[in-house]
Structure 1
């Protein structure tokens, strides 16, 4: 499968970036390597001490400034097919002069979040105004997924569902979390991902730590186990899905609490529609859990946007009054955590549609009982 979309996709994105730059009253964006750079060029180039950046002026042609030794990697991306200039430099030259060439001395320049201070400070010396953050422009670009991006996210969601479908092969009492994680890692690659971005195997009390990874703890038949896994599928769009497993029928208290969590996740999914606020989706899940008496056990936001980054905007959290729009993609993942005992989480990726949302994960949401 190709590592990028067609060049016309990137051409439209670059034009939209220029339009938004102009509307924001900026003279140019300087986008360092990372997800924003990949979104606009298709290139997964990674650099640090030598500047590689995309410069998007409000008016005129975009160009990439890159160290000459990085050119081969750039030619493998959509940059080769786009109507943009590539300005290369060698050690001893000043790439920051190249980046700001053609801009007025008092230019309003906005830099991407991923551009390190190592480059921001020399750029700042080339204009009389301090650089600004390009977050407002870039979030508007990336937050609404186009049809090609949604198709990529669907492929990623289906791939991680296939890994969860195989969990009975890996998650077996008597094995350590680390052993299970190693098998999941291999399965993530086998099912179409280019890497395992994260693997959480939280058994028993470790399930009460939302960001536990995996350890040498031996899994018991009495454990409840949280499995949160994901990673990129070409062209770089991520999966992220959590299911909770057990090996024998849970005791009545665990079963009752898990049922509350199940209802909360379903309520949040049902609340998704264009015009609803991000915080209202968080509230839909939180209200169910709080009314059942377990509000203190739900210790994180309900969700996060996803795309070329695992975590990006919009964030589904109290205080975020952004209105949902068609094409936004994000997780819905309420959880409950009881330190020293157990925890549980249910997570799907959803995409906002004209009349609600599409869930990109379809595995059962109940407490999945495996043979053990």
Structure 2
């Protein structure tokens, strides 16, 4: 597995992203985009700032206007070092002053703006008070495709993150499972993700026996037993881009029913991955997976969407779910993760990250390559 550090994104890369965001906003009938600390700000500018800071930090993007970052004076030196700083104008404000008076002149007085989803309510309310004729809509609603289509450098990082998750799975299968607590295996998964290059671990789910019927079960003190089916779901960020994979393993020999359920999920996951191609709606991926499971008699036990986008966060648009009519385009990356969950008994989930390729090169490519067979562990 390649573990080298990829080349950093350049100021030109960030300039292109900010320009694209401004154009997309104009095309959507918005006066601009307002970006608070969080993944959108990192993706657009390379500037990392704690998302829980109470001081206003706001990137303002609008067509025909130079990108401007409103930032607290005490954080301005760090903002000036960001990779995309050369493409922005910095406007700082000092404690004791009204930051909305600094931001307001950058906004149209009666415009409608897209706002990053994690913006603080008090900052949005502050802007509304200063500019009462403005209105706001979340970026997920207004510009869901803003980060959805990845370029070659982003795809390279996502592939490397997937390979690191695959290496983690291959190693965890070698350790003892029976007689150990879920939380101990969860910590071991986290250690392995870091060993294989992840700087951030977002989740390491170990859902054993009846806990496997809860898709988001938090690993606890349950001791894994012989005969348990175990859902493993883990991921995080490597070089700023996400991994997310699920495999289901079994302690000792499974029953015929357990094998049958696993086979159904594997068939559904394969069919959904095979269905990926440019031009189909996101909901079609969900429909394909759901039909396989429903036809096998387990439809009521598939209780979540088939997939979610991935990039600088491990969950982001687009979503593979009924009602999502956004068409797939080359460069999109998302999970395909159908599951069956039998309450009080066990669950099965299989998940790969898939990227949409060009029509001539096939419909989609998996970024995870580990076996999807039911693995037997000790």
Structure 1 vs Structure 2 CA RMSD:
1.6
Partner in structure 2 of residue 250 of structure 1: 254
Q: 1:72 to 1:246 in 2, by over 3 A?
A: farther
Partner in structure 2 of residue 216 of structure 1: 221
Return the alpha-carbon distance in structure 1 between the equivalents of residues 291 and 132 of structure 2. 50
1:327 aligns with 2:331: yes
Partner in structure 1 of residue 149 of structure 2: 144
Contact 1:107 1:127 in 2 (8 A): no
Contact 1:111 1:131 in 2 (8 A): no
Partner in structure 2 of residue 360 of structure 1: 367
Deviates more, 1:208-217 or 1:168-177: 168-177
Contact 2:111 2:134 in 1 (8 A): no
2:350 to 343, 346, 353: 346
| SS at structure 2 position matched to 1:246 | strand
Deviates more, 1:100-109 or 1:112-121: 100-109
1:194 to 196, 199, 218: 199
Deviation at residue 336 of structure 1 after TM alignment: 0.6
Cα offsets for 1:8-41 (capped at 9, x unmatched) = 1111111111212222333222110111111110
User: Within 5 A, what are the aligned runs for 1:9-158?
Assistant: 9-46=13-50, 47-80=52-85, 82-135=86-139, 136-158=141-163
Return the alpha-carbon distance in structure 2 between the equivalents of residues 159 and 58 of structure 1. 39
Q: TM (normalized to structure 1)?
A: 0.95
Contact 1:185 1:196 in 2 (8 A): yes
1:303 to 284, 301, 307: 307
1:174 aligns with 2:182: no
Return the alpha-carbon distance in structure 1 between the equivalents of residues 196 and 94 of structure 2. 41
Cα offsets for 1:180-201 (capped at 9, x unmatched) = 1111111111110012101100
Partner in structure 2 of residue 283 of structure 1: 287
Return the alpha-carbon distance in structure 2 between the equivalents of residues 346 and 363 of structure 1. 11
| SS at structure 2 position matched to 1:92 | coil
Return the alpha-carbon distance in structure 1 between the equivalents of residues 22 and 173 of structure 2. 50
Return the alpha-carbon distance in structure 1 between the equivalents of residues 6 and 274 of structure 2. 35
Deviation at residue 115 of structure 1 after TM alignment: 0.9
Contact 1:63 1:86 in 2 (8 A): yes
Contact 1:203 1:224 in 2 (8 A): yes
Count, aligned residues: 369
| SS at structure 1 position matched to 2:87 | coil
2:9 to 5, 15, 27: 5
Return the alpha-carbon distance in structure 2 between the equivalents of residues 171 and 162 of structure 1. 17
Deviation at residue 137 of structure 1 after TM alignment: 5.0
Q: 1:347 to 1:102 in 2, by over 3 A?
A: closer
Cα offsets for 1:234-292 (capped at 9, x unmatched) = 1x211000001112221111111211111110000010000111111111111111111
Q: TM (normalized to structure 2)?
A: 0.94
Deviates more, 1:256-265 or 1:122-131: 122-131
Return the alpha-carbon distance in structure 2 between the equivalents of residues 38 and 148 of structure 1. 16
Structure 1: runs of 5 or more not aligned:
none
Return the alpha-carbon distance in structure 1 between the equivalents of residues 167 and 350 of structure 2. 16
| SS at structure 2 position matched to 1:240 | strand
Structure 2: runs of 5 or more not aligned:
none
| SS at structure 2 position matched to 1:330 | strand
Partner in structure 2 of residue 227 of structure 1: 232
| SS at structure 2 position matched to 1:16 | helix
Contact 1:329 1:352 in 2 (8 A): yes
2:167 to 147, 162, 173: 162
Deviation at residue 369 of structure 1 after TM alignment: 1.0
2:190 to 153, 177, 185: 185
Contact 2:236 2:243 in 1 (8 A): yes
| SS at structure 2 position matched to 1:166 | helix
| SS at structure 1 position matched to 2:130 | coil
Deviation at residue 45 of structure 1 after TM alignment: 1.1
